[in-house]
Amino acid sequence: MKSVKRYIISGIILSGVFACRQGTTVAEKGSVKSDTISPIFPDTLNMPKGKFGEAVRYGRDLFLFTAYYIGPEGVNGKYTGNKINCTHCHQWAGTKPFSFNLMKSHERYPMYRAREGKVLSLAERINNCVTRPHNGIPLPLDSREMIAMLSYLKWINETVPKDKWMTGEEALAVEFPAKAASPENGSRLYAERCSRCHGPNGEGRMNADSVSFLYPPLWGKEAYQPGSSMHRVIKQAQWIKANMPFDSVMWNKTVLTDEEAFDIAAFVNDDRIHSRPNPATIDYPFPEDKAIDYGKGPYIDTFSEVQHKFGPYEPIMLYWKNKGWKPRF
């Protein structure tokens, strides 16, 4: 167990070193920084006035009521292919700590993104989420909607000091279990802890108006695509440990153990038992950039797709480290 822990820590440090290239918010997790500040919650009373303020407000509304505005029956355009809202994953419109927090995003881009193998602008990164988790078509870069989302992200970014590390801007740290994550155990845990809201078949529950979800679907044709980062087991385990079950958890008062979070994420994301909208997407043009929990080859190592997806991850991390490569997740 000791060596496993040591190994995890070195992985964390490595991923921190490559934060910029990796382009994810998991970087540097676990590192103790003297200039860490408590989470900041932007005060909507301080939203700017004038035309820019209008864009910021509309941008925030788009995060909260995505389906209403730009969903399959959107009143301002039909862009997303399902009825989920950005805020289901980027909770509190991207301001909740450890919930794929977006308050630093505006200053992070343009940035190299391994999944696409190129430098992306923030607008292109937004469109990644419009197309994958939302199964939609990209927003035109000069559309009112794209400008509004960018304006909102700029405004929330202005509320955080540039040189400080904010608690919760990264993913919650989890320890990799020594064994592979178990979809079977995850299925049992899902029935106990998740299905009362997300439904026994992961179908979620619509609001009465049928415009959007009260409880978003977790698999099936209304849910996120396999190309979404939420489909990766480590990424989802970090998120659900900090954020679910919705009614009983806070990032500083978690409910699931790390192992439970991994098992549930394995169950939710197991394509052998659950289907998803699946347009052929080509990801990670450079296998040396591939996140270790990405379940589709080719890889530059000798591990199977199943092990990459479900773990155990430490042997993969160790293999990469011994080769002098940088594992990312």
Residues found near ligand HEC in the complex (CB under 6 A): 23-26, 66, 84, 86-91, 100, 102, 105, 108, 125-126, 129-130, 133-134, 149, 171, 193-194, 196-198, 215-216, 218, 224, 228-230, 235, 240, 244-247, 264, 268
- Give whichever of 171 and 317 is closer to ligand HEC, judged by the CB atom: 171
Neighbours of 9 (CB within 10 A): 13
Do 317 and 327 meet the contact criterion of CB atoms below 8 Å apart? yes
Q: Is the dihedral of CA 105, 111, 112, 118 positive or negative?
A: positive
Least CB distance to ligand HEC at residue 213 (A): 8
CB of 123 to ligand HEC, least distance (A): 9
CB of 308 to ligand HEC, least distance (A): 17
Q: Shortest gap between Cβ of 2 and ligand HEC (angstroms)?
A: 28
Beta carbon nearer to ligand HEC, 130 or 174 = 130
CA distances from 232 to 75, 189, 266, 302 (A): 32, 18, 9, 19
How far apart (Å, rounded) are the C-alpha atoms in residues 186 and 262?
Answer: 8
By beta-carbon proximity to ligand HEC, the closer residue of 102 and 317 is: 102
Tokens describing residue 146: 């794209």
204 contacts: CB under 8 Å, gap ≥ 6: 197, 198, 213, 214, 215, 216, 217, 218, 222, 223
- In degrees and rounded to multiples of 5, residue 156 shows phi and psi of -65, -30
CA distance 312 to 205: 34
Nearer to ligand HEC among residue 92 and residue 315 (C-beta):
92
For the bound state, the minimum distance from the C-beta of residue 149 to ligand HEC, rounded and expressed in Å, comes to 5
Q: Considering the complex, what minimum distance in angstroms separates the CB of residue 36 from ligand HEC?
A: 18
Of 207 and 304, the one with the shorter C-beta distance to ligand HEC is: 207
Residue 232 or 308: the one with the smaller Cβ distance to ligand HEC is 232
For 119, phi then psi, to 5°, come to: -80, 130
- The three-class DSSP label of residue 94 is helix
